[in-house]
Chains A and B, each alone.
Chain A
Amino acid sequence: MSDGHDKVTNGANPEKDLSASNLPGRRGDQGEEIRVQRGMFGANNGGDTSGYGGLVRSIRLPGPASRPYGGWFDEVADELEGALEEQGLVPENVIDKTVVDRDEITFHIEREYLLPVAQTLRDDPALRFELCTGVSGVHYPGDKGRELHAVYHLRSITHNRLIRLEVSAPDREPHIPSLVSVYPTNDWHERETYDFFGIVFDGHPALTRIMMPDDWQGFPQRKDYPLGGIPVEYKGAQIPAPDQRRSYS
């Protein structure tokens, strides 16, 4: 569990330690809200006889951490902030927030500064993240104004460290600068993320579809794209596709 959230009390019983490891999931108002969930069992269009239809629950991801982050995290954060200042950038403008969760550090970077940040992380001798392990797109349709996230994991072989960069873009303007000029390995990874999420990586040498056929419509791994399964008939009974079934949510 994270260092920043060890003691969180909330809810009806303030004595209860909500960070106990066997809790099903953190409730309360800490963290970043990404979605509001209504009801249960995936019954959204009427027909809910479970009595849970009125349930309202907010889904929250771990929120920003405060110093000290612990371990080598502070060292990396200090070095990064110092290097950015040397370049005449204000770290507070560049780094939206820093999340420390599950022994992993995540820098949320404002997208217009992604390129200088990546360049610094790669070239600064004290940072030296020479290996980028690619981009992973995540789509949060409920996170208004920052629906599309691109997640980069950078590995430093020199210092044996791993950090995560997260950049977000709104759905109406899904542009994120390309990192191919800094990490050429991201060529295919960015094409893949474009293919699945529709994130346009500005400056990519040839941003075309890579997995799906060239004439495919839509971006299949976004949350608003259906799974696309067909109902299956088995011994006379119709079984709907996995995304059409009722499910726990």
Chain B
Amino acid sequence: MSTQSASARETTEGTVYTVTGGDWDEVVETAARADDERIVVNMGPQHPSTHGVLRLILEIEGETVTEARCGIGYLHTGIEKNLEFRTWTQGTTFVTRMDYLTSFFNETAYCLAVEKLLGIEDQIPDRASIIRVLLMELNRLSSHLVCIATGGMELGATTIMIYGFRDRELVLDIYELITGLRMNHAYIRPGGLAQDLPPGAVDQIREFVKKMQKNLPEYDKLATGNPVFKARMQDIGYLDLAGCMSLGATGPILRSAGLPHDLRKAQPYCGYETYDFDIPTADTCDAYGRFLIRLEEMRQSLRIVEQCLDRLEPGPVMVADKKVAWPAQLALGPDGLGNSLDHIKKIMGTSMEALIHHFKLVTEGFRVPPGQAYAAVESPKGELAAHAVSDGGTRPYRVHFRDPSFTNLQAMAAMCEGGQVADVIVAVASIDPVMGGVDR
């Protein structure tokens, strides 16, 4: 294809170039000469839809997608490298920003890996584990809500989007009450939690559960039986069990193929074996099945949240080992959450050793025995795992995240090829990739 440069003419104000739509004409001409309607189309990376900076390269023939490829890396942040220059505790601040819709899962996976390296898994206080589970299940709700909301918007159903974000706000209010932040919390730390639940949190969560139990059926009424919705989703994004296994797809995609594999049941962590909940599955292998699974998982999450609230007993939220436990105590001051003034007064005024200890642990951090550990959690998107390597220093030697979005997105080609262009959007939405997790 020859490229003709734009014609130029000199004027009193400098050179003026006349650019015409030559490019498109040439594309059409070349396509006509090739005697078929095969065109390569780029979708993204700047996207009219909502999955961030994902670039889809589609080869289409008429309306049929003959080949589909993903271009990723447009949000590569180098978080794994950055972690190697911070202490183990500071790592949570970075990992929480990987998949920003599942912050608590990133933090938990990372902290479980660090705790495994330290060999203190059994010393984590019960209260800390229960609050971790509580927050993770709330996070599952908010992540699925965004998935359903944006998935609906991509179908053109703005109402679902407004509903989804309405309910997500309720979850975010709870996060804000507990961690002080709406997103990117860095609340779960190696050894436990940054601080205990604030007063009133339990009541607010109970109220939220009540409200959510009323709101969740609205999605059913709005979407589940909706003929337009069903026509767009059923038999779209088909990936059967063999495909899932070979492509490593986990989470709702795997469960929509009928396999009830969930790490919360298979390899429980944080005491999940003691909670009572079900793993929903579907046998349709399609986008509609995944939607139904997400909806049901939200109900199950509410069940777990209720059980967590019933179990909460007063107690510590950080390991007793003072060589690991973060020495700071936080309190709410006039300018927001910060170091507790009483605690500062104590270490500054009465105990030289406490001050030294505080200083050493905060600036240097704790040392982690050499070795490697792999900790996996079931995030809303699938198996999220952290592979942490320590060389005995105060900073991670290498941390690698196995992000489910990254792996599941590979299935895009298998789901889309042979389908219609409009179905690509549905298929990608049913994978629910978050580019922050894909690119890290």
Does a CB–CB distance below 8 Å link A and B in the complex?
Answer: yes
- Interfacial residues of chain B within 5-23, with CB under 8 A of chain A in the complex: none
**Do A242 and B86 have beta carbons less than 8 Å apart?**
yes
Complexed CA–CA distance, A164 and B247 (Å): 19
Chain A hits for B370, CB < 8 A = 25-26, 31, 59-62
**Do A21 and B248 have beta carbons less than 8 Å apart?**
no
Say whether A53 faces chain B, with CB atoms less than 8 Å apart.
no
**Do A138 and B323 have beta carbons less than 8 Å apart?**
no
Chain B hits for A212, CB < 8 A = 73, 76
Residue on B nearest A2 in the bound complex, by CB: B371
**Do B407 and A188 have beta carbons less than 8 Å apart?**
yes
The 0/1 profile, CB within 8 Å of A marked 1, for residues 69-91 of chain B is: 00011001010111011100000
Q: How many residues of B contact A (CB 8 A)?
A: 57
**Do A136 and B400 have beta carbons less than 8 Å apart?**
yes
Given contact pairs A133-B248, A187-B410, A61 touches B371 in the complex (Cβ within 8 A): yes
Say whether B245 faces chain A, with CB atoms less than 8 Å apart.
yes
**Do A21 and B120 have beta carbons less than 8 Å apart?**
yes
Say whether A146 faces chain B, with CB atoms less than 8 Å apart.
no
Complexed CA–CA distance, A35 and B370 (Å): 12
Say whether A227 faces chain B, with CB atoms less than 8 Å apart.
yes
Distance between A16 CB and nearest chain B CB, rounded to angstroms? 16
Chain B hits for A60, CB < 8 A = 370, 392
Say whether B223 faces chain A, with CB atoms less than 8 Å apart.
no
**Do B80 and A131 have beta carbons less than 8 Å apart?**
no
The 0/1 profile, CB within 8 Å of A marked 1, for residues 243-285 of chain B is: 0011111100000000101000011000000000000000000
Chain A hits for B303, CB < 8 A = none
Residue on A nearest B367 in the bound complex, by CB: A24
Distance between B118 CB and nearest chain A CB, rounded to angstroms? 8
Q: How many residues of A contact B (CB 8 A)?
A: 58
Given contact pairs A102-B373, A151-B387, A138 touches B248 in the complex (Cβ within 8 A): no
Say whether A83 faces chain B, with CB atoms less than 8 Å apart.
no
Distance between A216 CB and nearest chain B CB, rounded to angstroms? 10
- Interfacial residues of chain A within 55-83, with CB under 8 A of chain B in the complex: 59-62
Say whether B398 faces chain A, with CB atoms less than 8 Å apart.
yes
Residue on A nearest B400 in the bound complex, by CB: A136
Distance between A168 CB and nearest chain B CB, rounded to angstroms? 13
Chain B hits for A249, CB < 8 A = 393
**Do B85 and A242 have beta carbons less than 8 Å apart?**
yes
Chain B hits for A188, CB < 8 A = 406-407, 409-410
Distance between B89 CB and nearest chain A CB, rounded to angstroms? 13
Complexed CA–CA distance, A60 and B120 (Å): 21
Contact of A151 among B72, B365, B372, B383 (CB under 8 A): B372
The 0/1 profile, CB within 8 Å of B marked 1, for residues 178-203 of chain A is: 00000111111100100010000000
Chain B hits for A101, CB < 8 A = 371-372
**Do A134 and B407 have beta carbons less than 8 Å apart?**
yes
Say whether B107 faces chain A, with CB atoms less than 8 Å apart.
no
Say whether B394 faces chain A, with CB atoms less than 8 Å apart.
yes
Chain A hits for B86, CB < 8 A = 242
Complexed CA–CA distance, A133 and B109 (Å): 14
Chain B hits for A183, CB < 8 A = 246, 248
**Do B402 and A25 have beta carbons less than 8 Å apart?**
no
Say whether B63 faces chain A, with CB atoms less than 8 Å apart.
no
The 0/1 profile, CB within 8 Å of A marked 1, for residues 396-420 of chain B is: 0110101000110110000000000
Chain B hits for A62, CB < 8 A = 370-371
Complexed CA–CA distance, A53 and B154 (Å): 60
**Do B76 and A25 have beta carbons less than 8 Å apart?**
no
Contact of B81 among A134, A185, A220 (CB under 8 A): A220
Residue on B nearest A153 in the bound complex, by CB: B374
Residue on B nearest A241 in the bound complex, by CB: B85
**Do B85 and A26 have beta carbons less than 8 Å apart?**
no
- Interfacial residues of chain A within 222-243, with CB under 8 A of chain B in the complex: 227-228, 242-243
Chain B hits for A115, CB < 8 A = none
**Do B394 and A248 have beta carbons less than 8 Å apart?**
yes
- Interfacial residues of chain B within 353-384, with CB under 8 A of chain A in the complex: 363-374, 376, 383
- Interfacial residues of chain A within 17-75, with CB under 8 A of chain B in the complex: 21-26, 31, 34-35, 59-62
Closest 7 CB pairs of A and B: A185-B248, A136-B400, A25-B392, A211-B73, A242-B85, A24-B367, A211-B76
* B residues whose Cβ falls under 8 Å from a Cβ of A: 72-73, 76, 78, 80-82, 84-86, 116-117, 119-120, 245-250, 259, 261, 266-267, 321, 323, 363-374, 376, 383, 385, 387, 389, 391-395, 397-398, 400, 402, 406-407, 409-410, 439
Given contacts A59-B370, A62-B370, 8 further A-B contacts (CB under 8 A): A25-B370, A131-B248, A132-B248, A134-B407, A157-B266, A164-B372, A211-B76, A227-B84
